[in-house]
Structure 1
Amino acid sequence: MMGFRVMALIMLMAVLMCYLSCVESIVRHYQFNVEKKSISRLCSSKPIITVNGKFPGPTLYAMEDDIVIVKVVNHVQDNVTIHWHGVRQIRTGWADGPGYITQCPIQTGQSYVYNFTLTGQRGTLLWHAHINWQRATVHGAIVILPKRGVPYPFPKPDKEEIIILGEWWKSDVEVVINRAMKSGIAPNVSDAHTINGLPGPAPNCTSKGYTLHVESGKTYLLRIVNAGLNEELFFKIAGHQLTVVEVDACYTKPFKTDTIFIGPGQTTNALLTANQKFGKFIITLSPFMDTIVATDNQTATGIIRYKGTLAFSPTSLTTIPPRNATPMMINFMDSLRSLNSPKYPAKVPLSVDHSLLLAIGIGVNPCATCVNGSRVVAGINNITFVMPSTALLQAHYYGISGVYTDDFPANPPTPYNYTGNPPANMQTNNGTKVYRLTYNSTVQIVLQGTSMVAPESHPTHLHGFNFYVVGNGIGNYDPVNDPKKFNLVDPVERNTISVPTGGWAAIRFRADNPGVWFLHCHLEVHTTWGLKMAFLVENGKGPNQSILPPPIDLPKC
């Protein structure tokens, strides 16, 4: 009898453990109301597009492997989409968000439910609008906590803080880009940088800047997000070192730095130890650009204030990195390494099925109605991407012909000295082309910057996948010698990589996610000009390797 009771108790405990493991993944429900609102601290009466009336928008909190359901309701006159930047969207491309790539936009008065699972991810990501230039004000953080009972692979912080970096225009950003597209020249740069929506200080604006309150002896995990449109940024705190522990929701080998480099769409988690007894210390946010391209040269500032510090205490200052601090940028990028531990291994593809060289940069096309008789454009392998009127994923899933072709070139059609003197003909070809990948194939992409108009850094984002940055360099990629120096052991894992000005970056990933996935420069002006393309990853074997059916409320074009 006693044995029966013991057996029954063991079975009950087994059932309970099974139940707990089954319910470990929680369904997180959110509603995003897209609406216009005036934000007084921006020193402007102009209403901006916001989510739930907030700028930045609400933070989305979840745990690894949770199911996230977000109902987005459009209350503005513009079309809307939301992209969950860096979320892998395994087989759920319908929830990825880029307009006319994976979905038609949500029209005025309509709604759409994004439903996806945070499969095997933990860390900091961001969400943002993915149509036109709405990303300027429609953005927010995604915080994915580890599973219950799973610690961080670094000392547990006493507190966590979200720091969202952005750009601010006094005028309507859609008017800014529409005027530029009509004239054929570059749009105006932003008027100020922001830290958590606070410009502090900015010309003709008395708004106070961001303040982080800390206590001496405590450690803070800073979840830093660059939600800006067009600028890579330096982030620095006077008198303090930061320990980087994660980028793009992927753990890294910890390293100390006094300056963080972060491009649009990238995230960085860093530990800040409050090692002073008291005082106020300035936070600086300044642009990086190591070529002739114009930037918003305003430096946004905030303050770290220790508990017990008197209001009239002086603020400790710091030197701001030069705008063209290329060595600082390269040193930060080269310091990033995957954790590559038994629990968090670096699964770098060691063999390659598809090898692509993508020449990315700016060009010039004739334009009879433009100011100078020409229009600035951008392209990949001499192709300026043309947005379709039917979403690519819908066209692929339903077999709709005439929307795209699958002949995107794996190499530039005419090789040239990409970082040297530009060719006489800088004109690009227009096209809506995708590159087809077989399921589970391995891919290497060398992103080669060009100097046809001016060399620039290109923070390039791949939807639907993480990738490993196995190499980078200045000048033209050498396919014979450069691969000999690739890091195939612990390269950093990311979803957005800054391609060096006048240089290249090599990435590798496994195409284990069927669907249509966008690749584009995350400088919004370059995306608008056409620096974008898409990969079509075919279904594998069986339903578990195939795209899920579209939801019933998928917006119509």
Structure 2
Amino acid sequence: MASSRHHRLPLLLSAALVLALSVLPAAQADVQRYQFDIVMSNVSRLCHAKSMATVNGSYPGPTIYAREGDRVVVAVTNRVAHNVTIHWHGLKQRRNGWADGPAYVTQCPIQPGGTYAYDFNVTGQRGTLWWHAHIAWLRATVHGAIVVLPARGVPYPFPKPDAEVEIILGEWWHADVEAVEKQGRALGMAPNTSDAHTINGKPGPLFPCSDKHTYALQVQWGKTYLLRIINAAVNDELFFTIAGHTMTVVEIDATYTKPLSASTIQLSPGQTTNVLVRADQRPGRYFMAAKPFNDAAVPADNKTATAILQYAGVPASVLPAPPRLMPETNGTGFVAAFHDRLRSLNSARYPSAVPLAVDRRLLYAIGLNIDPCASCPKGSRLAASLNNITFVMPRVALLQAHYGGLKGVFAADFPDRPPARFNYTGAPLTAGLGTSLGTRLSRVAYNASVELVLQDTNLLSVESHPFHLHGYNFFVVGRGVGNFDPAKDPAKYNLVDPPERNTVGVPAGGWTAIRFRADNPGVWFLHCHLEVHTSWGLKMAFLVEDGDGPDESVLPPPKDLPKC
């Protein structure tokens, strides 16, 4: 629909680019201003047209461009019947949770007809991130890329590409995704899977009626391209590959990595990966492809989206080279090996500041469970929990409640470890362990170093889970299969150059250990980025206390902050 947007070179914010992205006139050079209108648009894919929520009528939505150190102001006006918020995924929002965006966590939603200006600084970050709606399943259609360029005069720590392109991987439902989610909730079952996957909003020629719904990237022979790849899918982890070409990974989640050569990469929902691709093959047309990774003991969604990498001068009538053979849908071994090879750059300019000493050790057990449901046809419903707690969203935003002195909205007593120890990855415990409902936060002292081990369980079945922490990057210091052993596994941690991320996969029937320093005060969401699991309650939040210094407390709320 708007594939030309992804051919723009975000090396300079030209006047034409500013106009195309609806940027408002900036008061000064270091302020990037955008207007986001949430509107209903009629969009056609796969022989079907539907009316869906979009930003400025575009699917995917406009790209936000900024430089490290810039201030960004995005005025969001809600012109649809849904409540809306926007989350700037991966931006740390230092002391400024008011701009983070998750509904009922840091803000009340923008109600129909309302406007809210997200005003934030891009401090100490550069690379590829993304934005998306953060309420119910609206992010299926309301999302787009964020490109943060290095500060002026600062080069990339890898060979400068000739051009840069955003590649957004997504999902498509013929039906209204909000209705799909509500139907699943009413039945107590998992909602219907998507009807297609997309690359830059288009499913590609392997789907019917898709001739005009194929994204094509034109390249010049001999030139090098930086692909900024984003997994914006709602529920699917994805493989990505380009026929006949090798990719070099140079960045993940907006942090530089040691160069890593790969023919196929894997991204969980929420993750981003920058790769260099050299157009050095025989001029022709080559398939790019995205296919699900699913290692759960449930029927797998195996729909492959395709796009075309096309050399300049080659007519569109030339048949593309077949898609590269990708790993099996349940290719757990490939995924583990790929992520085990990722390393932070850990250079003098970009060191790995992984905490070596730990003040607070946490173990969170991930559970899928079955809860009673009197209104559901089977008398029960699928649910999810962390440490046996299914999180209940409040009616007032947690950050507003805490700094507004409202009592009774939440309890700050989330347990540091599971209340009942058991063989987490042993035989399935279909009866569950007495899951409770609650709005419970974990209180963390300012500047404490935290180690969090996320442990998958076999309460219903083992399954991989991508977890996203708002407000922070963290270091992935270890991962493994089976139950985490605190006496043996830490000896195998990488504390030198572990990958730094904001979203991490927890392997099916295994564990992942992350470390971060709690130096950003506020209320910060932690949740599975499979939207179906988040809606079932697989989430919690950290309440990071203010420090003692003048720059160690949460900023005052903006005057236009929405009210519940």
Given the two structures, how large is their TM-score scaled by the length of structure 2?
Answer: 0.93
SS in 2 for 1:484: helix
- 2:96 pairs with 1:109: no
Residue 124 (structure 1) aligns with: 128
More displaced 10-residue stretch of structure 1: 415-424 or 400-409: 415-424
Residue 460 (structure 2) aligns with: 453
- 2:355 pairs with 1:349: yes
- 2:79 pairs with 1:72: no
1:110-136 Cα deviation digits (max 9, x unpaired): 000101101100000000000010000
- 2:173 pairs with 1:169: yes
1:188-240 Cα deviation digits (max 9, x unpaired): 00000000000123654334311111111000000000000000000011111
More displaced 10-residue stretch of structure 1: 143-152 or 202-211: 202-211
More displaced 10-residue stretch of structure 1: 306-315 or 136-145: 306-315
The CA distance in 1 between the partners of 2:275 and 2:449, in whole Å, is 31
Q: Which one-letter code corresponds to 1:331 in the other structure?
A: A
Residue from 359, 362, 365 that aligns with 1:359: 365
1:436-484 Cα deviation digits (max 9, x unpaired): 0111110000000111111111000000000000000001000000000
Residue from 338, 343, 352 that aligns with 2:344: 338
Gaps of 5+ in 1: 1-22
SS in 1 for 2:306: strand
CA contact (8 A) 1:189 1:294 kept: no
1:29-78 Cα deviation digits (max 9, x unpaired): 01100000011345323111000000000000000011000000000010
Residue 151 (structure 1) aligns with: 155
- 2:386 pairs with 1:380: yes
Residue 141 (structure 1) aligns with: 145
CA contact (8 A) 2:170 2:197 kept: yes
Residue 56 (structure 1) aligns with: 60
The CA distance in 2 between the partners of 1:347 and 1:460, in whole Å, is 21
The CA distance in 1 between the partners of 2:213 and 2:41, in whole Å, is 20
How far apart are 1:542 and its partner, in Å? 3.2
Root mean square deviation of aligned Cα: 1.3
The CA distance in 1 between the partners of 2:495 and 2:226, in whole Å, is 29
CA contact (8 A) 1:123 1:250 kept: yes
The CA distance in 1 between the partners of 2:46 and 2:60, in whole Å, is 12
The CA distance in 2 between the partners of 1:464 and 1:399, in whole Å, is 22
How far apart are 1:371 and its partner, in Å? 2.3
- 2:449 pairs with 1:442: yes
Change (3 A) 1:210 1:232: same
CA contact (8 A) 1:363 1:427 kept: no
- 2:297 pairs with 1:292: yes
CA contact (8 A) 2:355 2:515 kept: yes
The equivalences for 1:223-242 within 5 A come to 223-242=228-247
- 2:550 pairs with 1:550: no
Residue 212 (structure 1) aligns with: 217
Residue 319 (structure 1) aligns with: 325
The CA distance in 1 between the partners of 2:91 and 2:213, in whole Å, is 34
CA contact (8 A) 2:343 2:498 kept: yes
SS in 2 for 1:301: strand
- 2:347 pairs with 1:369: no
Residue 464 (structure 1) aligns with: 471
Residue from 31, 36, 41 that aligns with 1:37: 41
The CA distance in 2 between the partners of 1:123 and 1:160, in whole Å, is 12
Gaps of 5+ in 2: 1-26
The CA distance in 2 between the partners of 1:168 and 1:161, in whole Å, is 22
Residue 536 (structure 1) aligns with: 543
CA contact (8 A) 1:25 1:67 kept: no
SS in 2 for 1:315: coil
CA contact (8 A) 1:286 1:321 kept: no
How far apart are 1:292 and its partner, in Å? 1.7
How far apart are 1:319 and its partner, in Å? 1.3
How far apart are 1:361 and its partner, in Å? 2.4
Structure 1 residue ranges (4+ consecutive) displaced by more than 6 angstroms after TM superposition: none
The CA distance in 1 between the partners of 2:367 and 2:342, in whole Å, is 25
How many percent of aligned residue pairs carry the same amino acid?
61
CA contact (8 A) 2:227 2:276 kept: yes
The equivalences for 1:486-501 within 5 A come to 486-501=493-508
Residue 46 (structure 1) aligns with: 50
The CA distance in 2 between the partners of 1:293 and 1:125, in whole Å, is 31
How far apart are 1:327 and its partner, in Å? 1.6
The CA distance in 2 between the partners of 1:524 and 1:296, in whole Å, is 15
The CA distance in 2 between the partners of 1:463 and 1:535, in whole Å, is 9
How far apart are 1:335 and its partner, in Å? 1.1
Residue 12 (structure 2) aligns with: none
CA contact (8 A) 1:444 1:509 kept: yes
Q: Which one-letter code corresponds to 1:485 in the other structure?
A: K
SS in 1 for 2:551: helix
Residue from 251, 255, 261 that aligns with 2:266: 261
Structure of larger gyration radius: 1
